Structure 1
Amino acid sequence: MELLNKLRQKLSDENLMFAYRGEVTGDNSVSLLTLLEREMEFSDFSLLGRKRLFMFVLENLQNITRHGISKSAEITSLVVYNKTADGYTVSTGNALKKSEVRDLRKNLEKINSLEPDKIREVYRTMLQDSNIGRKGGAGLGLMEMARKTGNKLDYDFLPIDDKYSYFILSKTVDSGGKGISEPGGLPGTFDTRKVAQLEKMMKSNNIFFIWAGPLTHAISKELLNFSETTMREAELEQNLHKRVFATLIELLQNVAQHSPGFEAEKKYGIPMAMIRKTPASFIITSGNLIRRTDIDHLTQKLDMVNRYDEEGLKKLLKVALMGQDMSKISTGYMGLLEMARRSGGRLSYKFDEVNDDYAYYTVTVRVRAKVNRPQ
């Protein structure tokens, strides 16, 4: 639980909303974009701000899929969304060869030195260059980001080893469509260390993705779409894929079932979901604010589920599905039963007191790959 406490503190301190560490592909890019779009819709973010941020993310993800290097799980891409007082920050990270850093830095310095009208002029010139227009390139993509967003790009290069560097690109946009680098925009400066620390934390703890924010039906749907697409592309064993996906569904529904409302969550504890990947399992965690009056009966249900083995859980689920004796403790909590049955393991849980009215409730489930025994 120490990891959860550290993570919750970091989520709160940095207004972290979403983080994914893994390969960025054409397919999962769609869900990454749609997830941000759904959150912006929920927050009633301005149309101008939404458009500028969306175009930045679109071009950035395309740049990563075309030019980024994912050597292994040790060196892979990062996508991070943060909330700000009046907008959002989107940061990405990806590995590239050290030999490419000098030219890329020069391109970024040139782009950031240009006024918006000049950016459009240079962009048109680049498109007319038959070699650049036909082949594309990172320089053209960066120019496209600057042209469509109208703001400067924040960036940094961090050394990985003697061959590779980690390229971090970031943009903050407020509701007026302005960024931190633009006069009149949000105050503050781009802090590479926070992104680098998050990447290190996710790597050392095998964190696949984190979500911390509202879990509406539309947002939960996109989280599930993103997870399903990414797991499918990883070519997981089919049974493991299905059980992880089903367990995540139940956890997200569990959060929605006990939510006291987003206004209370904003004040006392934002909902979260996290998946960690180990060589032989996935570890799925959800956290959400609940009323303290719910603690006793939830504890009873969780302890009851944890007392049964796989066969016992099947029988218990059958009783619940038949609706027999719904007043008893053994029925009415099919979500918890399904989580335990599909994962094949215990439900680890914790309640942290927040105040006289609320507590923060976390549940962790480990879904292990099943070992095929010889006949």
Structure 2
Amino acid sequence: MKKKLIHDVFHEYISEFYQKRSIMEIKLIYEGEVTHKITKAFTASVENKMTNEGESSLLKRKVFHIIVESLQNISKHAQSIIHTKDDFNGMGSFLIAKSKKDYYIVAGNPIHKDEKQEIIKLIDNINSLNKQDLSALHKEQMKEGKLSSKGGAGLGLIEIARKSGKALSYSFKKLSDEVEFFILTTQIPSI
């Protein structure tokens, strides 16, 4: 039942996402547990496809790094809801798509409702910064950042924004009284 709910929420979002953009090709879609093995397989598969399509090395590196950061965020944060009465832990959804001009990475995972405002505040802050300020924030977090209970200091999201050069887009869908489904969409311009 929980997997079906996550599936339905993610597919509803993907359908809306797809309709808003012109010609879009889905390169990869996945729902389930995110492990190191899955991350390795996805990055290899996408890199192979991008090489076959003649994409630049710089674009491949950007997409590679954003895939890794996005999947690590799913892996870390999907585990954070173990102590709720709901059984959503470890679940994540992931999509890579390409339009004529850009790549898109859409990553989603359940989070505890108490994390929602902190995530919104962090992403809104990241989105308000220019390239130089993002670099400064990254250095500051590396040096002095307060680690969350999951071991991060927002570095993954900062790094995604730095690599993409675009604002991060996010949404939340309620799964239960205690759990929200967090969806992060990253746009990566083709070079």
TM-score between both structures, scaled by the size of structure 2:
0.77
User: Using CA pairs below 8 Å that are at least 6 residues apart, which structure has the higher relative contact order?
Assistant: 2
What corresponds to 1:82 in structure 2?
Answer: 97
What corresponds to 2:165 in structure 1?
Answer: 150
1:106 aligns with 2:121: yes
Q: Which of 41, 48, 72 matches 1:38?
A: 48
Flag the 1:139–1:81 CA change in 2: closer, same or farther, 3 A: same
Structure 1 unaligned spans of 5+? 1-9, 177-375
Please give the residue correspondences for 1:256-267 in structure 2 after superposition, counting only pairs within 5 Å: none
**Contact 2:47/2:60 (8 A) holds in 1:** yes
Structure 2 unaligned spans of 5+? 1-14
CA distance in 1, matches of 2:122, 2:146: 17
Amino acid at match of 2:168: L
CA distance in 1, matches of 2:173, 2:153: 18
Deviation per residue, 1:160-211 (Å, 9 max, x gap): 11100011111122322xxxxxxxxxxxxxxxxxxxxxxxxxxxxxxxxxxx
CA distance in 1, matches of 2:135, 2:68: 18
CA distance in 2, matches of 1:75, 1:66: 8
How far off its partner does 1:16 sit? 2.0
1:115 aligns with 2:130: yes
CA distance in 1, matches of 2:28, 2:89: 20
What corresponds to 1:301 in structure 2?
Answer: none
How far off its partner does 1:88 sit? 1.8
CA distance in 2, matches of 1:136, 1:144: 15
What corresponds to 2:143 in structure 1?
Answer: 128
What corresponds to 1:52 in structure 2?
Answer: 62
What corresponds to 2:11 in structure 1?
Answer: none
What corresponds to 1:64 in structure 2?
Answer: 74
How far off its partner does 1:139 sit? 1.4
Flag the 1:130–1:98 CA change in 2: closer, same or farther, 3 A: closer
Please give the residue correspondences for 1:90-101 in structure 2 after superposition, counting only pairs within 5 Å: 90-101=105-116
**Contact 1:55/1:149 (8 A) holds in 2:** no
| Runs of 4+ in structure 1 over 6 Å off | none
CA distance in 2, matches of 1:163, 1:145: 27
1:25 aligns with 2:7: no
Flag the 1:175–1:130 CA change in 2: closer, same or farther, 3 A: closer
CA distance in 1, matches of 2:47, 2:170: 23
SS at match of 1:132: coil
What corresponds to 2:10 in structure 1?
Answer: none
CA distance in 2, matches of 1:126, 1:138: 6
